A and B are shown apart, each in its own frame.
Chain A
Amino acid sequence: RKEVEQDPGPFNVPEGATVAFNCTYSNSASQSFFWYRQDCRKEPKLLMSVYSSGNEDGRFTAQLNRASQYISLLIRDSKLSDSATYLCVVNRAEGFKTIFGAGTRLFVKA
């Protein structure tokens, strides 16, 4: 079993739709969690950190469930520009000692 697992998708949604991605992790000692976005043939970029209390950044909401060891990302009112691969990232220790998931591909169509 991989340490960080994601549904690879692809998710094909129309503009304006709400879409949710889940990610599970196996190491209960994991300390911090992130969602990164990676456009086609580009480098990963931080989308948002994920906190136990849940956090929101505009149309994006991230949730962490430590008991069940999963992380979610909700995108509301999808835009064409949201089309990308979303990488779940789990940090084992202080600093940035990370495990990346394989990513979930999202296509938003007009």
Chain B
Amino acid sequence: EAGVAQSPRYKIIEKRQSVAFWCNPISGHATLYWYQQILGQGPKLLIQFQNNGVVDDSQLPKDRFSAERLKGVDSTLKIQPAKLEDSAVYLCASSRQGANEAFFGQGTRLTVV
């Protein structure tokens, strides 16, 4: 079974620029999550999708972050404009509906300079 795919693996941008991350979840997984992990901290949930609907985006900084999952499969997370404090690893995860385990992708390491 293929795992969660993310791209790019690394991205370096200047502050105020825009960036987008892509995630392809495990086939058949209805639930998709985007997490932000800052160095030395645990992952923080940014947004959770159930199929193509948003379940929880309470911690998503909506003035600069946006995410979509139009067809209930792939998802993109965008930051516009980026700030220095957005430097982190962005992890995508997926799970079967109602399941208690999520599987993570390898993440995208973003550096904002």
Which of these, B31, B44, B97, B100, contacts A100 with CB under 8 Å?
B44
Interface of chain B: mostly helix, strand, loop or mixed: loop
Residues of A within 8 A of B61 (CB): none
The reply on A74 being an interface residue by CB < 8 A is: no
- Cα A8 to Cα B35 in complex, Å, equals 20
The reply on B107 being an interface residue by CB < 8 A is: yes
- Cα A49 to Cα B105 in complex, Å, equals 20
Q: Which one of A12-20, A54-62, A89-97 is at the B interface?
A: A89-97
Q: A43-B91, A43-B105 are in contact. Are A100 and B43 (CB under 8 A)?
A: yes
Residues of B within 8 A of A87 (CB): 42-43
Interface size on A, residues (CB 8 A): 22
Encode contact with A along B2-36: 1 for CB under 8 Å, 0 otherwise. Answer: 00000000000000000000000000000101010
Question: Are A49 and B107 in contact, CB atoms less than 8 angstroms apart?
Answer: no
Question: Are A96 and B42 in contact, CB atoms less than 8 angstroms apart?
Answer: no
Residue of B whose beta carbon sits closest to that of A85: B42
Residues of A participating in the B interface, judged by any CB pair closer than 8 Å: 4, 8, 32, 34, 42-46, 49, 87, 91, 94-103
Q: List 23 A-B contacts (CB under 8 A).
A: A43-B104, A43-B105, A43-B106, A43-B107, A44-B91, A44-B104, A46-B102, A49-B101, A95-B31, A95-B95, A95-B97, A95-B98, A96-B31, A96-B33, A96-B99, A97-B56, A98-B45, A98-B102, A100-B35, A100-B44, A102-B40, A102-B41, A103-B41
